[in-house]
Each structure stands twice: as structure tokens, then as C-alpha cells.
Structure 1
Amino acid sequence: MSIRARLLSTIAGQLGNPHGTLGKGVAFMLNRSNHRAIAGAVEATGVTAGATVADIGFGGGAGLSLLLERVGANGSVHGFEISPDMLSRARSRFAGEIGTGRLQLAEGPMTGLPLADNALDAAITVNTMYFVPNLDAACTELVRIVRTGGSLVVGIGDPDAMAKMPFTAYGFTLRPVAEVIAALERAGCTVDHQQLANPPIPHHLLVARPA
């Protein structure tokens, strides 16, 4: 493997599972570059104060902050991550919110989340679907934890734009937007397809509502 290929593979691996010293920089970058997309996903949930919500694959933690603000003092937020380093970082950053019970963090893959059926009013997952081997299993699990009539917002970068980024050739699965919508529909949702122009690339928000 060439030096360039090793570098791109390292970048791709960090984006899927930030860790170590490099992961700290990746976390900062994720919060900055994904902020508009994450904020759009939070807004698209439509949740109000007092709701119970989750960010699945929260990475740098920007979504946790936005959801905590959105649901207020009487709401609750769950955060799930596969990266132990990102979990440790979030536990330190949000120690106060964890102490009051407003925020609960746990390690959990998207196909096996430690929550009861219908536990949430809403959930978001942004820029995570590229790393899921089994799309149907992931969508089924995400829908399972959101109550009927609630909202699940899946954010993905435009696959054509993503394909132009050299690191996505290493470990990313860039699925057509229609394929992700179809998987959400098979899991029992209606789906509203929204688009954001440049956060920093064209982004798709799939607002799924379990029927």
C-alpha cells in the first residue's frame, strides 16, 4: 500500500471510529464541519421541551449539545457511540448533564442499541450510514426505538459529492439516497426527503416517521 493510500485509509478509519491522539482532532473537525447538517437534523425532528431523544453515533458531541438545548431541563437525551474515546470525551465534557440525569451515554452499535422498544420521541444519526454493513438491520433497529408517530432523522452526504473525496474509497459504503429511503420504508416508516445545499457538501435529511 502506498503512503497516500495509507494516509487516506487512516483518515477514513478515524472518521468511522475516532480514537487516540488523532481522534481528538477528528472530533473537533467533525463538530465544525458537520454542525450545519447536525443542526438541520435536530430541527427536522420537530421535538419540543420535555422530549426524550437520542443521537446515535454522536462523534464529537455537537448533536448532544443541540439536543440538550432543544429538550430543555425536563427532557432527556441518550447518546450512543462505538468509539470508547469519543464516549470518554463526552463523559468529561457533559459531566454536569450526566450528573443530573439529563444525559445518558452508552456504547452501542447501530444494530444493537441498549434501549427498549418505543423509548424515544425522536432520534438523529448523521454521517453514520456509510459505516453500516447491513442497512436493513440498522434501519430496523433505529425504527424499533422510536415511538409510533415520532421522528427519526437520518443525515447523509450526497453520494456523488462524497465519491469525489479520496478517502471515501477506504471503508465507506456510499449508497444512493433512494436505497436508504427504501430501507427506512421497509422498516415501517413514511419518509420525507429534505435537502441542505452546502454543509459543506450537499446533504440529505431523511425524516422517517414510524407508522
Structure 2
Amino acid sequence: MLMLDARTLAAQLRQPHGEAALAVGESMNRSNAALNQAAIALLAVADHEQVLEIGPGNAAFVPLLLQAQGSRYLGIELSTAMVEAGNQHLAAAGLADRAALRTGDAHALPVADASIDAALAVNTLYFWPDLAPVLTELARVLRRGGRVCLAFGDAAFMRTLPFTDDFHLHELDAVELALRVAGFSVCGWRAHRETAAGNDGQTRDKYFHLLLAQRR
């Protein structure tokens, strides 16, 4: 369990750094495992698709994401510590020829136009003060018909957590509207509920939304 005060934990969750970085990455893996699995199932990567993930942490769930034959992966991550750890994990899993992490920001993705088939972002919306620039970037890099899965905590649930004071909490209907404005059609929604420990080590009832949208 991470023994960090709420403000320090919030900063680490946004961008793991320093001596706590690796422990924070492992904590996020434990806390977000079921949510990641649900999001990956909803995204349903097909054979030979190019996948983009924003904020993958240490890439623990990439082997599950790349079950489809010939699929390839790029993860864009703010944390240099997570990029280093993630690329080590990918190499150890035998995926270095199909998958890589790069340091970057969701507001300026280092990705060519219309080059991505499927995109994923789990628990990253809280660090986007304005959804529009990031969703516009996703629309740019996704091919027509490409899809994105966004997984994020219900705003009312997130407000009960002690470390989210500085998070940007987005209501479900606001995220749906922002997707449509950016050029997407919302084509799927799932509620994800579980009782499990969070990054602060406390067990609570969690409530998340999973949205699937297609690039028009």
C-alpha cells in the first residue's frame, strides 16, 4: 500500500516520478486491473490493427490488448519512469517488435494522421482540463471508422475519494457531447462497478463509465 498524502498521491497518479514511481505504477495496476480488462474487451482489437493508448503506465495490460494476430501498439505516456519500465515489460513479454511506449502528451500526439485503428484511455480524463483538444487529436490520428474507448470514474463517485481535489471530473453526458463535437459517434456504453481497494489502499464501492465511440 502506498503511504502518500492525498496531494502527493494525486500528483503521482498523473505522472509517476521519483523514488515512488515504480510503486505507483504497480499500485495502479492492482487498483485498475478489472477496469482495464473491461475496457480492452469493449475495444475488441482485431487482427492487424494499430492500437494507440494514452497513459498506459508501465504497460502491464498490453499483452492482453494485443491478443489479435498481427496487431501493433503504441503507448503515449507523460512519465519517463513509466516509459522505461513499460518498454522493459514489453521486451520481457516478447512484444518489443510489436509494441512500444514513448514519452508524450495527449494534447500533441506524436502520431501521423489517420494511422490508428483503435485507441484506449483508462483513467486519464481527469488530467485533461478541457476535453476538446485531446479528443480533436484523437480524431486526427484515428482513421475513419476507427474507434476509441474511454474509461473513467463517475464524477459523483470520484468526488468521494480523498485525492481527487485537483482532478478534472467530467460528467458522462459532457464526455458524450465532447466526443460528438470532435467528430465521433458514440456507439457503446458500459457501467463498471466493483468493490475493491483503490490507490490509497482503502476498499470501497467503485463506479466507472466505459464509452466506445467511432470516428465519423
TM-score (norm 1): 0.90
1:91-170 → structure 2 map (5 Å cutoff): 91-95=87-91, 96-98=94-96, 100=97, 102-169=98-165
Q: Structure 1 residues 87, 199: closer, same or farther in 2, change over 3 A?
A: farther
Q: 1:209 aligns with which of 191, 194, 214?
A: 214
CA drift of 1:199 comes to 6.7
- What amino acid does structure 1 have at the position aligned with 2:210? L
Q: What root-mean-square deviation, in Å, do the aligned CA atoms of Structure 1 and Structure 2 show?
A: 1.5
SS at match of 1:111: helix
SS at match of 1:62: coil
Aligned: 1:188 with 2:186: no
Deviations 1:92-129 (A, max 9, x none): 2212422x2x0122111111111111111101000000
Deviations 1:1-23 (A, max 9, x none): xxxxx821100000100112211
Count of residue pairs the alignment pairs up: 201
SS at match of 1:48: coil
Match in the other structure for 2:170:
175
Higher helix proportion (structure 1 or 2)? 1
**CA distance in structure 1 between the partners assigned to 2:36 and 2:181 by the alignment:** 25
- What amino acid does structure 2 have at the position aligned with 1:114? P
SS at match of 1:59: coil
Deviations 1:42-81 (A, max 9, x none): 111122222111211101323322222x233x22111110
Deviates more, 1:201-210 or 1:38-47: 38-47
**CA distance in structure 1 between the partners assigned to 2:80 and 2:12 by the alignment:** 13
- What amino acid does structure 2 have at the position aligned with 1:181? E
- What amino acid does structure 2 have at the position aligned with 1:23? A
- What amino acid does structure 1 have at the position aligned with 2:130? N
- What amino acid does structure 2 have at the position aligned with 1:29? S
SS at match of 1:116: coil
Match in the other structure for 1:79:
75
**CA distance in structure 2 between the partners assigned to 1:145 and 1:180 by the alignment:** 19
Higher strand proportion (structure 1 or 2)? 2
Identity over aligned pairs, percent = 35
Unaligned runs of at least 5 residues, structure 1: 1-5
SS at match of 1:175: coil
TM-score (norm 2): 0.88
**CA distance in structure 1 between the partners assigned to 2:214 and 2:191 by the alignment:** 17
